[in-house]
């Protein structure tokens, strides 16, 4: 993934506002074998001691749950509002 500085938002309030306005996110992960999994889930955040923590829910016994059990690394993408 490209990491251009001009695409990174530095203002925490802008990030929080965006998540609050667009809480439906694309969550992706993978098994250790490399098999990919993806799920769209609603996400909430909690701020603790100045740090942001994301919270979401996926059902147990699904491919995504099994992948996270095997490999806890993930990518979550907030894409903005759906077109109308």
Instruction: Give residue 35's pLDDT.
Output: 96
pLDDT at 2 exceeding the cut of 90: no
Q: Pick the residue with more confidence: 9 or 1?
A: 9
What is the C-alpha separation between 73 and 64, in angstroms, rounded?
12
Tell me the pLDDT band of 83, cut-offs 50, 70 and 90: low
* Residues pairing with 42 in the sheet: 24
Residue ranges covered by each domain of the chain: 10-78
Q: Pick the residue with more confidence: 36 or 4?
A: 36
Which tens digits make up the pLDDT trace of 27-79? 999 999 999 999 999 998 888 898 889 999 999 999 999 999 999 999 999 88
What is the C-alpha separation between 11 and 13, in angstroms, rounded?
6
- Block residue for tokens 């001009």: 6
């Amino acid at each position: 993934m490209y990491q251009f500085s001009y695409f990174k938002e530095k203002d925490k309030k802008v990030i929080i506002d965006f998540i609050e306005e667009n809480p439906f996110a694309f969550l992706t992960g993978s098994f250790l074998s490399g098999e990919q999994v993806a799920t769209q889930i609603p996400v909430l955040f909690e701020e603790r001691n100045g740090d942001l923590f994301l919270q979401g829910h996926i059902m147990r016994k699904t491919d995504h749950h099994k992948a996270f059990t095997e490999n806890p690394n993930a990518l979550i993408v907030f894409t903005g509002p759906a077109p109308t």
